[in-house]
Amino acid sequence: MYEPYGLTTLTLAKDYINKTDGATDKDALIHGMIQASTDQIIAFENREIRSKTITEVYDGDGTRTLILNQDPVTSITSVTIDSDLDGSFSDETAESSDDYRFDSTKIFANFTFPAGFQNIQIVYTAGFSRFEVVTGSNDVIDWNDGSDREATLDPGIYTATTLATEVAAQMTATVATPVKTCVYNVQTGKFKIAQASGTFILKFFNGTNAAQTCGRLLGFDPSINQSERNALNWGTWRHVSGTVSTSESTLTFDERAGRIKIRNTSTSKNLLISFDGGTNFRTFYEDIDYELAPVNNTSVIIKGSEAGTTYQIDYTIEGGILTWTSDVSVLGIPADIQLACNKLVKLAWNDSGEQKQDRLGLTSISDSQAGTTTTINPNAEQEVLDVISGYRRWNV
């Protein structure tokens, strides 16, 4: 299970290190680099970065103000005082939310936090997850469910979770059925908008209100013409495997396919697949996992470089709950922090041996064939961290 609160995502990191060949065999390694880079930034900043719900226990000091360990604070779930000092909060009643308020770093109470050791429990949400909806700029979502529809989001600052709730609420307010939902995945950094049945075509960039669409805010790509396709079911997977010769053959899917995972299970043989009826073939090399974006095919043309080429293919099908997922990840964190994480991942990637050179302890790398020398900066990681020092939280 990968840590869901990384400061970049697998897709963004692979783009940054220019590993865009579609192979997934190094994904676990890159995930580890993302987590290590995230931990390095969090340790340097002395704080959590991405928004999460936290339960912490504090010493009461006899005042009405309590400085919290994480910021920016976006909500307080509960404030509970261990009045009998038995070390348990389960037998206590939480304070009324009417009796305190908060800003980005502190709680201000109408009562006194009694002096004591570990006698105040705070459950709160803090960290960056900032999505701003501006009236007339990015506040409308267009879709078609047999008729053209539109919904307007309320202006304001949202977290990813509250933005997902707002999208679902406003779409439902426009038309209640079929049921529509919107959720945010903290690991992938993507929104998923779904409708229970029927036609469901999002029209972020080609609807009536394209000039003020919330599509980019939700991570959708303006280069994709959503009106050309219905939503895809991203959750129902089908599996097929087989053997092919050098002659072309047609592999027909059960239904129109969305995402496709392809693995050439042969040894020393290449698998060739055409998604355009045989005009162009893509080569899939042995023992490498490939995952492709939605292809919308009902069949593909398949062959091998040699007879006896074997394969396995998994694919999603259209049908069931109709779902749209963001094209790109949107984390809602400061851009310079996300860039810093990508840079640290790249430094780790360069040092991993994947670049055919172990750089540890070296000051330069020479390429005798190219006649070039690359200087290695031993302080590169620290310099990356220094760029984001403005977010550092000092002990209080």
For the chain, which residues make up each domain, given as ranges?
A: 10-47+334-391, 52-126, 131-231, 237-318
Least confident piece of the model among 32-36, 50-54, 238-242, 349-353: 349-353
Please give the single-letter amino acid code of residue 131. F
Q: What is the pLDDT of residue 239?
A: 86
Whether the predicted pLDDT of 200 surpasses 60: yes
Residues in contact with 147: Cβ distance below 8 Å, sequence separation at least 6, in sequence order: none
- How far is residue 155 from each of residues 132, 208, 216, 218, 331, measured CA to CA in Å? 7, 19, 16, 15, 19
C-alpha–C-alpha distance, residues 188 and 73, integer Å: 23
- Residue 239's nearest CA partner among 253, 224, 226 is 253
Strands 309-317, 257-264: pairing kind = antiparallel
Q: Is 65 helix (H, G, I), strand (E, B) or coil?
A: strand
Q: Which of the four pLDDT bands, split at 50, 70 and 90, describes residue 393?
A: confident
Select 237-318's CATH number: 2.40.128.130, 2.60.120.10, 3.60.20.10, 1.20.140.10.
Answer: 2.60.120.10
Q: Is 147 helix (H, G, I), strand (E, B) or coil?
A: coil
**How many alpha carbons lie under 13 Å from residue 255 in its C-beta half-sphere?**
13
Least confident piece of the model among 124-133, 276-285, 336-345, 360-369: 360-369
In contact, 285 and 21? CB cutoff 8 Å? no
Q: What is the pLDDT of residue 360?
A: 43
CB atoms closer than 10 angstroms to residue 269: 19
DSSP per-residue codes, 81-131: E-TT-SS-STTSPPPPGGGEEE-SSEEEESS----EEEEEEEEEEESB--E
Please give the structure tokens belonging to residue 305: 């470089």
For the chain, counts of helices (H) and of strands (E)? 5, 24
Whether the predicted pLDDT of 61 surpasses 50: yes
Q: Which of the four pLDDT bands, split at 50, 70 and 90, describes residue 314?
A: confident
Q: In DSSP terms, which residues pair with 125 in a beta bridge?
A: 53, 75
**What average pLDDT does the segment 33-48 reach?**
91
Least confident piece of the model among 9-13, 120-124, 391-395: 391-395
- Residue 381's nearest CA partner among 325, 326, 342 is 342
Q: What is the pLDDT of residue 160?
A: 95
Q: What is the pLDDT of residue 231?
A: 52
Sheet holding 106-109, edge to edge: 65-67, 106-109, 100-102
**What average pLDDT does the segment 58-81 reach?**
95
Mean pLDDT in the chain? Answer: 86
pLDDT tens by residue, 319-376: 555 788 898 889 999 999 999 999 999 988 887 755 544 444 455 555 555 566 656 6
Q: What is the pLDDT of residue 356?
A: 43
| Comparison of pLDDT for 6 and 370, the residue scoring more | 6
Whether the predicted pLDDT of 235 surpasses 60: no
Query: Is the peptide bond between 334 and the residue preceding it cis, with omega within 30 degrees of 0?
Result: no
| Comparison of pLDDT for 271 and 188, the residue scoring more | 271
C-alpha–C-alpha distance, residues 339 and 329, integer Å: 13
C-alpha–C-alpha distance, residues 93 and 80, integer Å: 7
Strands 65-67, 372-375: pairing kind = unpaired
Q: Which of the four pLDDT bands, split at 50, 70 and 90, describes residue 25?
A: confident
Q: Which of the four pLDDT bands, split at 50, 70 and 90, describes residue 377?
A: low
Which pTM was predicted? Answer: 0.67
